[in-house]
Structure 1
Amino acid sequence: MDLINKRGNYMRQIILNIIMTIPFGFLLPLVAKKMNLIKVVLITMTFSLSIEFFQFFSITYRATDITDVITNTLGGLIGYCLYKLFHSLFEY
C-alpha cells in the first residue's frame, strides 16, 4: 500500500526490505540441503508473514503492509538465485 499511496519514503522501504531478506534466501539452501526454489520462496513468505503478524499485535503499533511481504519474498528469491549462481560457479 505504501507504493500505491506513495506514502513516506516508500522506495527506500522497498529496497531495504529486499536487501534484508537476500541473505535469508542465500543461506537457507546452505543450511538445509534439500531446498529448491519453491521451498525457499514459501519459507521466506511465511517468515515475512510472521513478522508482519507480530508487528500488527506489537505494543509499538508498527504498521503492517502487504508490500513488505511481497518485497521480503522477492529478496528471498533473489538470494536463492544468487546461491544457485555461486553454487554452480564453485561446484566441483
Structure 2
Amino acid sequence: MEKAIDFNGWFLYGSIIRLLMILFILKVKFKKDIVYLFFFSIMYIYICYVLNYTQFPIYASQTYRNMFGLHVSRNLNLVPLINLTKEDFETSLLNVLMTIPFGFGLPFITKSTLKKIAIAGLFFGIILESLQGLIGLLNGYTMRIVDINDLIFNFTGSLIGYSIFKLISYLFKLSEKKTNIKLNSLLKHIYDA
C-alpha cells in the first residue's frame, strides 16, 4: 500500500527555524530594535500562515496522480471576472480577507506608500498563484486552481489593508496630538509607521 507524504509539517517546522535565524541576523547585523523584531515576527508568521493555507497540503503520491491527473484547462483560469458563481464570489471574498493583513502589516516593517503596497500586493498574489501552478506541474496533479481572479482579489485585499492602516494611523496621530501622551517605543514605532 502506497503512503502519501504530507509536506505541511516540514514547512511549519522549517518556518520556525528560519524565523529564529532571520531575527538573530536582524538583531545582530542590522541592529533592529525589539519593537521592529516584534512586528517583523507577526508579519512573518502571517505570511507563513498564508503559504500554509494556499499551498498545502501537498501529497506526493502516485495514487493521487492517477486519480486527479493534471488537467491544465480545468485548473487554470486566465480570463478575469467572467462567469463568477456564488462559490467563486465566496472564494474571492476569502482572497480579499486573506490579504488585508498584508497591506495593513507591511508599513510596520518598511516605509510604504500606496504605490509600494500596490506593487507588493500584486507580486504577493503572483507568487501565491505561481507556486500553486508550479507545485501542480512538478507533482503531476493539483487540487488547486491557478486563477487570475485570485490575483485580482489578493491585490484588492492588500489595497484595502493599506487603506485601513492609513485611516487608523491618521486617527492615532490625531488623538496623540490632542492628548499629548508620552510615546513609549512601541507607540513611537506605530506613530512613525
Task: Tell me if both proteins adopt one fold, taking TM over 0.5 as the criterion.
Answer: yes
CA deviation profile, 1:10-63 (whole Å, cap 9, x unmatched):
11011000000000000001111x200010010011011011111011135121
Q: How does 1:73-84 map to 2 (within 5 A)?
A: 73-84=155-166
Match of 1:4 among 57, 72, 82: 82
Query: Is the counterpart of residue 52 in structure 1 residue 129 in structure 2?
Result: yes
Structure 2 spans left out of the alignment, 5+ residues? 1-78, 177-193
TM-score when scaled to structure 2? 0.44
Match of 1:31 among 109, 125, 145: 109
Q: What stretches of structure 1 of length at least 5 have no aligned partner?
A: none
Which of residues 80, 91, 94 is equivalent to 1:16? 94
1:66 maps to 2:148? yes
**Given the superposition, is the C-alpha separation of residues 88 and 8 from structure 1 closer, same or farther in structure 2, using an over 3 Å criterion?**
closer
Q: How many residues align?
A: 91
Which has the larger strand fraction? 2
Residue pair 2:95, 2:153 contacting (<8 A) in 1 also: yes
- CA–CA distance in 2 between the matches of 1:29 and 1:37? 10
Relative to the length of structure 1, the TM-score reads: 0.90
Higher helix share: 1
Percentage identity across paired residues of the two chains: 38
SS in 2 for 1:85: helix
- More relative contact order in 1 or in 2 (CA 8 Å, sep 6+)? 1
